[in-house]
Amino acid sequence: MTHHHKVDEVRTADVVVVGSGVSGSAAAMTAARAGARVALLEKQETFGGSAALSAGMFWTAPTVEAYRRRIPLGDVALGTRLVEDYEAALAELRASGVRVADEPKRDIMTFGIGYSTDIRAILAWCRDVVVAAGGEARTGTAVVALLDDGRKVTGVVACEADGRLVRYDAPAVVLTTGGFQGARDELTRHVGPNADRLLLRSNPGSVGDGLRLARAAGAGGTTAMSTFYGHLIGYPVNRFEPQDFLPSSQYYSGSTVFVNLRGERFVDETQGDELLNQAVTFQPEARGVLIFDDHVRRTEGTEEPFPGLGTIDRFAGAVEAGATHAVADTLEDLVDAVASWGIDRENLAATLERYTEVAAAGGGAARGVPVAPGARAPQTGPFYALMVQPSITFTFGGIRTNADGEALDHDGRPVPGLYAAGADIGGLSNYGYAGGLAPGYVTGRWAGASAAARAADSAAGGRSGVADGRSVAAEGRSDAALAGALR
């Protein structure tokens, strides 16, 4: 498929990276350190994507076994290499001079291990490496098409802020556009009904550009297309700006009784907030009610879930932001208050009663829904109820890749010259969540290294390192010009 774009300028690069979040920054930095001249292109006015909005916790599964337990549906090849490469990535960050905590935080999101970092400093360091190596980093530059000659990817066409079209001739392109959570139609297509109601808890630019560009080039899809990462947020909310993303997340929901608008439990709450967030999406109107007691509010409801988030009363924050809520001295009075929201009183009372019995007996099932052995029923007043809704930070499905960051076609063969990383790739997380920043950074390193190797190969006029050995000879003016530039 050949595009005919009337471009205003032609530039050459060894590697073009599309998107400047943590995975794109890591890919660009890695390629630059391997000797490639990199063009890091960001369509928004500022660098950093959703990573720049995060708390900076650099975490993932501590072992492959832990990964498989928490994410049984995950792509084991990707998960295994992620766990294996985590220490090296951490060492690389420490060596760069950016702040990385000395002590790890354990049991992140119930199972992970990680370190608090200065994520903005990491992003800036990556760009500095790219520019120092003779590359470029541009904002306000949207990639509008991938170029290919029917055999391999040959570059991109990008539209600059002033409307100028620029063609980048490059033997390797890395897609790191951060997922498709900002595209309502893609969400409904993949996640299902109610997905277009999800509150967007991410940068607004991750609208599936990578997915659409990769598909046009013949890349295949993955598992996990209907699963995603996010956290429960009060409902309704009168403001939801980036500074609200972390404080408004109800991280303690795993210690509550969570019911839908019919007053029924539908999930084992102890799975944790990011799994409850997905589960409630498919409930009536994609809403639910957290019911908990004063003990939960004063402990987990106020604790720092991980360093950098600060201790705040999350219930109070949700109330202040406009969420429907109730407070009562007895559980019976709380049930009356929640019933006034249109939730069936009898059903809700029966749900709480049965949950309390089963939790006291050490767990089991209450009205068909699991109650974990460690579950604790609300017992110390005052009692609280908070209406919540799900949010989405990034999607778990996406472009099919191998553990070298190569984009694969529907038959599982590499698409020559195309790479992807971060939230643009699919299957590493699947319902269960393996982290955001660390997997983004690590998978970015894979793609950056592979892309740089391909560019070096292409400059030498050799065959590509494509696994199935399809010969891709250097051809055409762009490759010749590139080879000349590299001599």
* CATH number for the domain harbouring residue 296: 3.90.700.10
* Domain assignment present for 3: no
Residues near 121 by beta carbon (within 8 Å), at least 6 away in sequence = 98, 99
* Domain assignment present for 202: yes
- Shared domain for 259 and 313, answered yes or no, is yes
What's the CA gap between 227 and 265, in Å, rounded?
20
Within 97-246, where are the H helices?
A: 119-132, 184-190, 209-216
Out of 341, 364, 389, pick the residue that ends a domain: 389
- Shared domain for 275 and 405, answered yes or no, is no
Q: How far is CA 298 from CA 143, 252, 256, 449, in A?
A: 48, 11, 13, 47
Q: DSSP class of residue 137?
A: E
* Domain assignment present for 4: no
pLDDT exceeds 80 at position 425: yes
176-226 pLDDT tens trace: 999 999 999 999 999 999 999 999 999 999 999 999 999 999 999 999 999
- Shared domain for 279 and 404, answered yes or no, is no
Closest by CA to 37, choosing from 148, 113, 137, is 137
**Domain count for the chain:** 2
What's the CA gap between 281 and 237, in Å, rounded?
17
- Shared domain for 92 and 118, answered yes or no, is yes
CB 49 within 8 A of CB 441: no
- Segment 229-244 shows an average pLDDT of 96
Q: What angle do CA 41, 122, 275 make, to 5 degrees?
A: 90
CA dihedral 329, 330, 333, 334 (to 10 degrees): 80
Out of 331, 354, 389, pick the residue that ends a domain: 389
- Shared domain for 202 and 252, answered yes or no, is no
What the block records as the tokens of 199 is 């509150």
Q: How far is CA 437 from CA 85, 90, 432, in A?
A: 14, 11, 15
What's the CA gap between 135 and 137, in Å, rounded?
7
pLDDT exceeds 50 at position 64: yes
Which pLDDT score is estimated for 481? 34
Which pLDDT score is estimated for 462? 55
* Domain assignment present for 140: yes
Which pLDDT score is estimated for 484? 34
- Segment 93-107 shows an average pLDDT of 95
Q: DSSP class of residue 270?
A: G
What's the CA gap between 385 and 379, in Å, rounded?
14
Residue corresponding to tokens 């490759």 = 479
Which pLDDT score is estimated for 463? 47
What's the CA gap between 142 and 197, in Å, rounded?
27
For 326, half-sphere exposure in the C-beta direction (CA atoms, 13 angstrom radius) is 21
pLDDT exceeds 90 at position 470: no
For 332, half-sphere exposure in the C-beta direction (CA atoms, 13 angstrom radius) is 0
* Domain assignment present for 2: no
pLDDT exceeds 70 at position 136: yes
For 275, half-sphere exposure in the C-beta direction (CA atoms, 13 angstrom radius) is 18
What CATH number does residue 124 fall under? 3.50.50.60
- Shared domain for 411 and 465, answered yes or no, is yes
What the block records as the tokens of 97 is 């001079």
pLDDT exceeds 60 at position 464: no
CB 424 within 8 A of CB 395: no
19-44 pLDDT tens trace: 999 999 999 999 999 999 999 999 99
CB 446 within 8 A of CB 439: no
Within 74-154, where are the H helices?
A: 76-96, 119-132
Q: Which residues pair with 291 in a beta bridge?
A: 257, 385
Out of 333, 359, 389, pick the residue that ends a domain: 389
- Shared domain for 305 and 438, answered yes or no, is no
- Shared domain for 308 and 417, answered yes or no, is no
Which pLDDT score is estimated for 472? 34
Which pLDDT score is estimated for 314? 96
Side by side, which strands form the sheet with 112-116?
Answer: 57-60, 112-116, 105-108
* Secondary element (H or E) of residue 406: strand 406-408
* Domain assignment present for 158: yes
pLDDT exceeds 70 at position 446: yes
179-191 pLDDT tens trace: 999 999 999 999 9
Q: Is the peptide bond before 382 cis (omega within 30 degrees of 0)?
A: yes
CB 14 within 8 A of CB 479: no
What's the CA gap between 177 and 174, in Å, rounded?
9
CB 252 within 8 A of CB 296: yes
What the block records as the tokens of 122 is 């990491």
- Shared domain for 398 and 379, answered yes or no, is no
pLDDT exceeds 50 at position 482: no
Residue corresponding to tokens 């501590």 = 62
- Shared domain for 342 and 398, answered yes or no, is no
Instruction: Report the chain's mean pLDDT, rounded to a whole number.
Output: 93
* Domain assignment present for 123: yes
- Shared domain for 337 and 261, answered yes or no, is yes
* Domain assignment present for 184: yes
- Shared domain for 368 and 398, answered yes or no, is no
Closest by CA to 401, choosing from 421, 431, 429, is 421
Closest by CA to 200, choosing from 318, 50, 348, is 50
- Segment 345-360 shows an average pLDDT of 98
What the block records as the tokens of 366 is 């209450």
- The whole domain housing 28 covers 9-224+393-486
Measured over the CA atoms of residue 11, residue 16, residue 20 and residue 25, the dihedral's sign is negative
Residue corresponding to tokens 């402990």 = 299
